[in-house]
Amino acid sequence: MRRLAEESQEEIDRTDQRIRDLEAKIESLQAQPDPPENEIQALKQTLDSLRTKLKDDRLALSTLEDVISENC
């Protein structure tokens, strides 16, 4: 179970990094003189999905950690 928790934390870290990368990409696109609105909107939708996934993953990890601590 601890290995599963560690793997979950690694996935959370990867998702968090992906979110930061997308935020930077969106900011860079918005700084352009004629920003590509369609691309920005698509990236924002992806960003929203990743934020939801991150929230869900953190909740699942918290629950898993509670189970681990109860069993140890």
- Name the residue ranges covered by the structural domains of the chain: 2-66
Cα–Cα distance measured from residue 51 to residue 45, given in angstroms and rounded to the nearest whole number: 10
**pLDDT exceeds 90 at position 63:** yes
Residue 72 has pLDDT above 90, yes or no: no
Angle at 42 between CA 55 and CA 32, to 5 degrees: 115
Alpha helices in 1-72 (DSSP H): 2-30, 37-71
Residue 66 predicted with pLDDT over 80: yes
Of 6, 40, 1, the closest CA to residue 23 belongs to: 40
pLDDT band at 21 (very low <50, low <70, confident <90, very high): very high
